[in-house]
Structure 1
Amino acid sequence: MRQYVLVSYDISEPKRWRKVYKMMKGYGEHVQYSVFICQLTDLQEAELKVKMDEIIHHLEDQVMFVHIGPVTRDQLAKRISTVGREYLPRDLTKLIY
């Protein structure tokens, strides 16, 4: 079962940041500077974490995975609120899945 997962990263070195950003573009929707919303199975999340592990510097960088809930548009719209510009989820199923 796919879950919405918010992935946020704080990468201290620009070259590593670009590598993480390029990789993440294949996994989810880029919603803010270092934030993506992804639809991931448990296996896909584990694979993403392994790839992150190979790129980041463990004493300087941080990647957070926040589970939002099951993949349904209604659920995502209820769980995300904004101040300012509204967040409108797009269809994420057209990514690498």
Structure 2
Amino acid sequence: MAGNERVYIVTYDIADPKRGRRVFKSMEGYGRWLQLSVFQCRLTPRRRAALGARLDGIIKPSEDHVLIMDIGPADAVDLRVESLGRPFESIRREAVVV
């Protein structure tokens, strides 16, 4: 399954604070919060589609804006990030017990 995961950067600008909180809570289940309204996600095509559908059900297209940037294959991408202040850590594949 790891072979088809890709890295995404998701950022959003939500006009209504209530919708913004809903987007934030939804994003927590898909990736790592980096700062304010920016998340780093490592997703399979199925999880990527689920994320898009979930966000589409929350936002108001005439007022809100979500960017989902595909950085590349998770196992092949070499993120080059300059971090000032707190250190930046890339998402690594890890087992999740449910």
TM-score normalized by the length of structure 1: 0.83
**Are positions 1:63 and 2:66 aligned together?**
yes
**Count of aligned residue pairs for this structure pair:** 94
Tell me which of 27, 31, 42 is aligned to 2:30: 27
Offset at residue 43 of structure 1 (A): 1.6
CA–CA distance in 2 between the matches of 1:74 and 1:41? 15
CA contact (8 A) 1:8 1:65 kept: yes
- Mark the runs of 5 or more structure 1 residues left unpaired by the alignment: none
Aligned counterpart, 2:43: 40
CA contact (8 A) 2:40 2:91 kept: no
Q: RMSD between aligned alpha carbons?
A: 2.2
Structure holding more helix per residue: 1
Aligned counterpart, 2:81: 80
- Mark the runs of 5 or more structure 2 residues left unpaired by the alignment: none
**Are positions 1:5 and 2:8 aligned together?**
yes
2:44 maps to amino acid? T
The 3 A distance-change label for structure 1 pair 53 and 34 is same
TM-score normalized by the length of structure 2: 0.82
Tell me which of 54, 67, 83 is aligned to 1:51: 54
* Identity within the alignment, %: 38
2:15 maps to amino acid? S
**Are positions 1:91 and 2:87 aligned together?**
no
